[in-house]
Amino acid sequence: MLRLPAETSDKLSKSSYRAQRELEAARKAGTAAPAVDADGKAINPHIPDYISKAPWYADLGSGPSLSHQRREEKKKEGIDEWYDRGATAGPAATKFRKGACENCGAMTHKRKDCVERPRKRGAKFSGKDIRADEVIQSVSRAYDAKRDRWNGYDPAQYKNVVDDYEAAEEARRKFREEEIDAQTSTDMAAVKKIAKAKQPDDDEFGSSDEDEEDEDKYADAADQVGQKLDTKTRITVRNLRIREDTAKYLLNLDPESAYYDPKTRSMRDAPEVGVAPEDMKFAGDNFSRFSGEATNMQKLQLFAWQSAARGHNVNVHSNPTAGELLHREFNQKKDVLKDTGRQSVLEKYGGEEHLERLPEELLGGQTERYVEYSRTGQILRGQEQAKVRSKYAEDVYINNHTSVWGSWFDRDSSKWGFACCHSIISGSYCTGEAGKVANHASSAGQLLATASEEPEEQAESKSLVEMHREKLEKSKQEAEENPSDRRSKGKNKESATPWGDTELPDLDRQRLKRAMDEEKKRKAMDEDEAWQHTKKSKTDVTEEDMEAYRLSKQAYDDPMANYKDPEED
């Protein structure tokens, strides 16, 4: 049987209970100080008793407390705490122990957790090369320590990586310099030999110091500025502006004007259209980048960067005069190399005459020859320019013709021919004026023959109304002439057919009438009954059956298909 503690079973007297209730009311009203727990924290008097009072099994004492409502905080290690990575617990064992890793022989892990290379014969079977046991530490890290990327990192360990990289870069640089020196010495020897042969009195290549210079280190077609630079000499250029200056995007507020890049603060095109760049306050970054001495400065800076990358001490900012002189000397020697190389190629292979080029005005067909024309196109002054002839043969006449094929067109036959004889046969012999007369006579005879075949008096086209009136008048006249046909029409109504006497001379009218009756009965049946009826009947189909089927076939586009004569009822 569960029993309550003694203090909870004691009952308060009425006076004590009344005093306790008054104290609680005063605390809620704010006239009395609130209760304090064991940690010195105030307890809100509005919290219910079943929350503020600890249960009897919590064993937190008899005083008021909220510690049983708070989560117990676990002690965390500091952010600098880390386990000893790779530490071993004493020397390695000499023989395999039961329960150890079958691969390396350590007791601190199993074979599936072993990080060593899998052996062909594990330590369990060989008993050799048994690894020492690792030190397993349990480090309880806090929130920041868990998310610290560099926790447990020793910067001294990276010093070996840096040393290896620097040693490799130094070896690579020396190898590149030796390769360039060997190539340059060979090229300079050949250039010197050619220059002495062409200019024996020139002392440009006479100095031994200049022979050692690396002239071929720099490529003729250099890369753009800021590309393929060494990390030590790489320069980051930011398009900064003075805050007192007007922003580029405020020069023209039209959204369709030049594009402005807010990230780099650049506007490559001119913001205003139709204004000379010299008159603009800002004509675009491209105008300032490629105008004046800007291109020369770019070439000089590129020369300095390439020279520094090849081991030469050239700096435009610290010593601009020396950099300019070296660049000028480099350009001069490069021009000499081009001229000597070109001359050597021309001497060896020839073809110098093909390099002579005509003036621009002659190439474009512009001359100083003066020609004056009249309104009708005749030449008044000067000489007419010769017509340009094609590569094909012109004015070549065959078979004694004086004109080419296709110079004459016959409208009657719509064919091409010769203008000299009006012959429309391409390979014919020229007959001259006699051929013209004969061709005209033959064409006129054909026209008369075709005209005689046509009716002399063609009927004039009549409208539908006139044709309908003529038809009514014709039928009226026929009815007046034969009045007996109308009376006999009603008597022979049952035996009459809708064809007349001359429409079907080869068909038997009695058989055709029976075939029409059979076709009407077949169409009145269902599809299955019609199929059975057709199957039982004779298989031979006569002409009367086909004519009955054709006449009884309903035309869907016939407007009188559903018409029913009231006199037949």
Q: In 3D, which of 401, 441, 406 has the Cα closest to residue 421?
A: 401
Most confident of 330-334, 504-508, 541-545: 330-334
For the segment 228-244, the average pLDDT, to the nearest whole number, is 54
Cβ 88 vs Cβ 135: under 8 Å: yes
Going by pLDDT thresholds of 50, 70 and 90, the confidence category of residue 216 is very low
Q: Which residues are CB-contacts of 314 (< 8 A; sequence separation ≥ 6)?
A: 303, 304, 307, 308, 322, 323, 326
Can you tell me which residue has the tokens 């020069």?
251
DSSP 3-state percent helix, strand, coil across the chain (nearest 5):
45, 5, 55
64 pLDDT above the threshold of 80: no
Amino acid 122: pLDDT = 93
Going by pLDDT thresholds of 50, 70 and 90, the confidence category of residue 226 is very low
217 pLDDT above the threshold of 70: no
511 pLDDT above the threshold of 60: yes
Most confident of 5-14, 46-55, 330-339, 453-462: 330-339
374 pLDDT above the threshold of 60: yes
Give the percent of the chain with pLDDT over 90: 11
One-character DSSP codes across 236-296: -------TTSPPGGGS---TTSS--BTTTTB--S-SSSSS-GGG-S---HHHHHSSTTHHH
520 pLDDT above the threshold of 70: yes
Q: Give 316 or 190, the one with higher predicted confidence.
A: 316
For the segment 173-196, the average pLDDT, to the nearest whole number, is 73
49 pLDDT above the threshold of 90: no
Taking the C-alpha atoms of residue 45 and residue 406, their distance in angstroms, rounded to an integer, is 121
Token pair, residue 55, equals 């249960």
Token pair, residue 119, equals 């052996």
Amino acid letter, 36: V
Amino acid 4: pLDDT = 44
Query: Pairing relation of β-strands 415-417 and 372-373?
Result: unpaired
Q: Which residues are CB-contacts of 41 (< 8 A; sequence separation ≥ 6)?
A: 66
Q: Which residues are CB-contacts of 106 (< 8 A; sequence separation ≥ 6)?
A: 100, 114, 130, 131, 132, 133, 134
Query: Pairing relation of β-strands 379-381 and 408-410?
Result: unpaired
Q: How many CA atoms lie within 13 A of 263 on its CB side?
A: 0
Instruction: Please give the backbone phi and psi of residue 311, each rounded to the nearest 5 degrees, phi first.
Output: 95, 10
DSSP-based three-state secondary structure for 141 = strand
Taking the C-alpha atoms of residue 406 and residue 495, their distance in angstroms, rounded to an integer, is 73
Cβ 314 vs Cβ 168: under 8 Å: no
Q: Determine which of 75-79, 209-213, 278-282, 405-409 has the lowest per-residue pLDDT on average.
A: 209-213
Q: For 15-38, what is each residue's pLDDT tens digit? A: 998 998 899 899 888 888 888 887
Taking the C-alpha atoms of residue 140 and residue 76, their distance in angstroms, rounded to an integer, is 6
Q: For 467-490, what is each residue's pLDDT tens digit? A: 778 888 888 887 777 655 555 544
Q: In 3D, which of 81, 85, 88 has the Cα closest to residue 104?
A: 88
Taking the C-alpha atoms of residue 277 and residue 270, their distance in angstroms, rounded to an integer, is 8
Amino acid 214: pLDDT = 46
Going by pLDDT thresholds of 50, 70 and 90, the confidence category of residue 231 is very low
Taking the C-alpha atoms of residue 470 and residue 474, their distance in angstroms, rounded to an integer, is 6
For the segment 172-189, the average pLDDT, to the nearest whole number, is 79
Q: Determine which of 134-138, 196-200, 445-449, 534-538 has the lowest per-residue pLDDT on average.
A: 196-200
| Number of neighbours of residue 408 by Cβ within 10 angstroms | 18
One-character DSSP codes across 513-536: HHHHHHHHHHHHS-HHHHHHHHHH
551 pLDDT above the threshold of 90: no
For the segment 34-52, the average pLDDT, to the nearest whole number, is 84
One-character DSSP codes across 365-433: T------EE-TTS-EEES-PPPPPP-SS--S---TT-SS-TTSEEETTTTEEE-TTT----TTPPP-HH
Cβ 398 vs Cβ 387: under 8 Å: no
Cβ 64 vs Cβ 48: under 8 Å: no
The model's pTM: 0.24
How far is the CA of 395 from the CAs of 401, 402, 492, in angstroms? Answer: 11, 9, 87
Most confident of 116-120, 213-217, 443-447, 539-543: 116-120
One-character DSSP codes across 64-86: ---GGGSPPPPP-B-TT----TT
DSSP-based three-state secondary structure for 116 = coil
Amino acid letter, 476: K
Token pair, residue 293, equals 């001495």
What's the mean per-residue pLDDT of the chain?
Answer: 76
Q: Give 368 or 448, the one with higher predicted confidence.
A: 368
Cβ 75 vs Cβ 139: under 8 Å: no
Q: Is 101 exposed, middle or buried (CB count within 10 Å of its CB: 0-12, 13-18, 19+)?
A: buried
DSSP-based three-state secondary structure for 281 = coil
Taking the C-alpha atoms of residue 277 and residue 291, their distance in angstroms, rounded to an integer, is 11
Terminal Cα distance for the chain, rounded:
114
2 pLDDT above the threshold of 60: no
